Amino acid sequence: MRITNRVVSVVILAVAAIYLVLSFNLDSYPYAVIDADVLPKSLGILLLILGIFLFFEKDQKDTNVKKLFQLKKKDVKVMTLCVVSLLIYITILEMAGFLLSTIILLIALPAILGYRKWKTAIVVSLIFTSTIYFSFHYLLNIMLPQGVLPF
């Protein structure tokens, strides 16, 4: 069974259209610096643009569904561990807080994916997570889950 880029792009364009309609129906808040609909609208527009590009892209000759979904057992194990890690992250986010749970996730995911430089992973996770947290907290005045940490 062959799936062409045009068939997939039509499905993506339909999903993008529905998503954009729903995102434009989100309520706006008068006192918000960045409103709640900015990210959904941006993602919907991006999905729409990518769907248009895919529609005009030339089809590959050997694009078979069976060939596309052949995965090695190791790859399935890695993907499963990543999904489980994300589910654990979602579960502990409120209890442990954004800072602690995100730092743990950003140290665990590279290890699962095979990255072995622990010091680099720790430094990147600390810098990235703290930058995001303090940007949201102090610049945008958006509270992220604090969890067990007092700030």
Query: 36-66 as b/e, with b when 16 or more CB fall inside 10 Å?
Result: ebeeeeeebeebbeebeebbeeeeeeeeeee
pLDDT at 63 (0 to 100): 56
Per-residue model confidence (pLDDT) at position 20: 95
Residue whose C-alpha is closest to residue 139's, from 40, 37, 29, 33: 33
Q: Which residue has the higher pLDDT, 115 or 16?
A: 16
Question: Token pair for residue 21?
Answer: 């309609």
- Higher-confidence position of 2 and 149: 149
Predicted local distance difference test score (pLDDT) of residue 92: 92
- Amino acid at the residue 79: M
Residue 10 has pLDDT above 60, yes or no: yes
Provide φ and ψ at 2, rounded to 5°: -100, 135
pTM above 0.85, yes or no: no
Q: List pLDDT tens digits, range 85-113.
A: 999 999 999 899 999 999 999 999 999 99
What was the pLDDT predicted at 5?
82
14-63 pLDDT, tens digit per residue, is 999 999 999 998 887 777 677 778 889 999 999 999 999 999 887 666 55
Sign of CA dihedral 59, 63, 69, 73: negative
Average pLDDT value for residue range 115-130: 93
Residue 39 has what pLDDT?
A: 87
Residue 151: what pLDDT? 65
